[in-house]
């Protein structure tokens, strides 16, 4: 069945709302407006205001309310319009949701799912365009997901809602209009990375909105005789180190592509793990392609220049492989 990434997200939430009366959706514009990216269009009419709750402009407040609802036995899906706005709720996410199981000695869990759009490429300037996934992947006590395919957009929400601990799902805004086929078997886990393309010359490791660019780069490299293996991390915390290591044992070279900034990035963590676990497998230094160290610009040509792009990825691979 062919569908968009947006429709896959919508179907996943619809299925959850139908299957479990404890599930409800809360966030800014999720009801009457149908969601900032139209992922909840029609939900208010179908499920009513008790289960589709438009929240005021206070991320700190409604994320906290979601935590309380989860502690009370419900299964909230809390939508934050963009990752930049989620910083207003960091106290609730990091100091409360992520820490309660530990601080209660295992007596309490917070089965909260927090969804948010992330990433640049839409000319929305610096307050709506950053990729801050690594900030959340740094925190023990939460799982961090980055679905980059139609299957993952459809299949990850169910396991996330079933998880007893908080799960943060990052949906890259550039992916919502992406279309693809949803197979009959679309169920997936929230624990492992995925090999999206097999190769023998270099491992291209990425996630989220960078996956289509990396796949396009791999296609271009193949035409030039370089077989790149593409690893989609999918799960940013906990990282699936074994899939990364297995790929390095096949290719012996790696380039990490991350839309976050280079300093303190998820790419840096992946590179560190490669060096810790696979150093003697490497035939060349590990490289990375990240966003430029600037707030994301508004002007289209400058925004494009600031982000990882296919030519940058191809050039980095050629430097690493010497081809």
Q: Which CATH architecture has domain 2-181?
A: 3-Layer(aba) Sandwich (3.40)
User: Catalytic residue at 301?
Assistant: no
Model-level pTM? 0.97
Measuring CA to CA, which residue among 178, 181, 179, 143 is closest to residue 159? 143
List Cβ neighbours of 219 (8 Å cut-off, separation of 6 or more): none
Residue 323 scores a pLDDT above 90 = no
Distance in angstroms (rounded) separating the CA atoms of residues 237 and 134: 9
**Is 252 annotated as catalytic?**
no
The overall average pLDDT reported for the chain is 97
Residue 44 structure tokens: 């208010």
**Cα of 184 vs its chain's centroid, Å:** 23
Using an 8 Å Cβ cutoff, are 204 and 211 in contact? no
Q: What percent of the chain has pLDDT over 90?
A: 99
Provide the percentage of residues in the chain whose pLDDT is more than 70: 100
Residue 248: the pLDDT is 97
| 107-164 confidence digits (pLDDT tens) | 999 999 999 999 999 999 999 999 999 999 999 999 999 999 999 999 999 999 999 9
Determine which one of 7, 59, 259, 303 is catalytic.
Answer: 59
pLDDT at 1 over 90: no
HSE-CB at 66 with a 13 A cutoff on CA atoms is 37
Q: Which of 128, 130, 172, 252 is catalytic?
A: 128
pLDDT digits (tens, 9 = 90+) for 208-217: 999 999 999 9
pLDDT digits (tens, 9 = 90+) for 62-109: 999 999 999 999 999 999 999 999 999 999 999 999 999 999 999 999
For the chain, the structural domain boundaries read 2-181, 194-321
Instruction: Say if CB 210 and CB 260 are below 8 A apart.
Output: no
At 313 the pLDDT is 98
Closest alpha carbon to 277 in 240, 321, 320: 240
pLDDT band at 28 (very low <50, low <70, confident <90, very high): very high
The hierarchical CATH code for the domain 194-321 is: 3.40.50.920
**Is residue 205 predicted with pLDDT exceeding 90?**
yes
């Amino acid at each position: 069945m062919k569908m968009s990434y947006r429709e896959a997200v919508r179907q996943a939430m619809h299925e959850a709302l139908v299957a479990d009366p404890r599930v409800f959706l809360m966030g800014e514009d999720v009801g009457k407006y149908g969601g900032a990216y139209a992922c909840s269009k029609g939900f208010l009419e179908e499920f009513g205001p008790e289960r589709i709750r438009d929240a005021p402009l206070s991320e700190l407040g409604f994320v906290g309310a979601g935590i309380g609802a989860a502690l009370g036995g419900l299964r909230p899906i809390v939508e934050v319009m963009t990752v930049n706005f989620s910083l207003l709720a960091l106290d609730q996410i990091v100091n409360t949701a992520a820490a309660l199981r530990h601080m209660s000695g295992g007596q309490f869990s917070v089965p909260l799912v927090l969804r948010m759009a992330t990433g640049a490429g839409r000319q929305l300037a610096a307050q709506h365009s950053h990729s801050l996934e690594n900030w959340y992947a740094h925190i023990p006590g939460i799982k961090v997901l980055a679905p980059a395919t139609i299957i993952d957009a459809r299949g990850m929400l169910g396991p996330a809602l079933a998880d007893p601990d908080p799960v943060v799902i990052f949906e890259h805004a550039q992916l919502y209009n992406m279309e693809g086929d949803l197979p009959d078997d679309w169920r997936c886990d929230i624990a492992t990375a995925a090999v999206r393309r097999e190769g023998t010359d270099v491992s291209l490791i990425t996630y989220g909105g960078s996956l289509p660019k990396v796949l396009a780069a791999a296609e271009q490299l193949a035409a030039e005789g370089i077989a790149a293996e593409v690893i989609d991390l999918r799960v940013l915390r906990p990282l699936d180190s074994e899939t990364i290591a297995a790929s390095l044992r096949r290719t012996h070279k790696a380039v990490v592509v991350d839309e976050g900034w280079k300093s303190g990035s998820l790419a840096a963590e992946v590179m560190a793990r490669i060096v810790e676990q696979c150093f003697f497998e490497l035939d060349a230094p590990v490289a990375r392609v990240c966003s430029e160290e600037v707030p994301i610009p508004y002007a289209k040509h400058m925004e494009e220049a600031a982000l990882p792009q296919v030519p940058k990825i191809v050039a980095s691979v050629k430097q690493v492989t010497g081809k």
